[in-house]
Amino acid sequence: MKTLKNIFPFALLAALLVVASCKKEDTIDPNEKGSVVLEFDNIYEGQQLKLNDVTYKTAAGEDINISQFDYFVSNIHLVKEDGSEYIVPQDNSYFLVKESNVASQTLTLTDVPAANYKSVKFMIGVDSLRNTMDVSKRTGILDPAAGAAGMYWSWNSGYIFMKMEGTSPSAPLDSATNLRKFRMHIGGFGGLNSKTINNIKEASLTDADGEMAKVRASAKPTFHITVDASKVLNGSTNVSLKTNATTMFNAFSVNVANNYQSMFKVDHVHN
């Protein structure tokens, strides 16, 4: 009994130290800043997306080979566990993710207030305000002559939000290339002076297991987001390339945009 009496105070002290340590660890300094990473992992129905050398099947039963897959992500919001949001400053909230450029698939957001973030929201495309700003205000990845080259319609003064190209035996023969090409170039922000197609979409993503991104000065968590390219052609509208091989600024583009809105998913969170 004497031995137990001697041990008990030490055990109690150790337990108190553990509790104090946990409480200290859970305390979040509102003035603390950190970083969070959004990692976009492009796939096709569960398999890594590979350009040019893999044949995929669409829901319409057509074979396709994808040569390009690019999309804009912008206007990012991070949602805290209490439901309040941190809005990334807009000038720092435009990114172009390209399957052909691995570096573009990792987005690092800096100066993020320390907090536990349960979800991430963003726009798929470029908002109407930025679409209509003077070109001097659209630099870097939004520069039509540089970062956004190939993702901008000069004839329509608007960004292409999502571009997928490739070949398919179901597509009509393209006389310029002598290939059976398909082209999905989806944009449209609603129009400047008159109403037009509006294909701006938003994604709101939460980890299925409830894991949160714990941003601290000493920690840089990652939302690992899978992007299923098959959703461009498969969804509420199963696109047949036999009849819609080239979809750009037309009414059918709304169906494609509605499809790809669901292609984003948080696979897991790294802390």
Compute the distance between CA of residue 256 and CA of residue 244 in angstroms, rounded to an integer: 10
Q: Which is higher by pLDDT, 53 or 263?
A: 263
Strand pairing class (181-187; 222-228)? unpaired
Q: Is residue 23 very low, low, confident or very high in pLDDT (cuts 50, 70, 90)?
A: very low
Taking only the tens place, the pLDDT of each residue in 183-200 is: 999 999 998 788 889 999
**Which pLDDT does position 193 carry in this prediction?**
80
CA pair distance 152, 166, nearest whole angstrom: 19
pLDDT at 268 over 60: yes
Burial of 151 (0-12, 13-18, 19+ CB in 10 A): buried
Question: Residues 52-61: what's their mean pLDDT?
Answer: 97
Per-residue pLDDT, 155: 81
Tens of pLDDT, residues 63-120: 999 999 999 999 999 999 999 999 999 999 999 999 999 999 999 999 999 999 999 9
Question: Domain spans of the chain?
Answer: 30-270
Tokens of 22: 């946990």
pLDDT band at 9 (very low <50, low <70, confident <90, very high): low
pLDDT category, 4, cuts 50, 70, 90?
low
pLDDT at 2 over 90: no
Query: Would you say how long the chain is, in residues?
Result: 271
Report whether pLDDT(238) > 90. yes
Can you give the pLDDT at residue 121? 98
In this predicted structure, what is the pLDDT of residue 10? 58
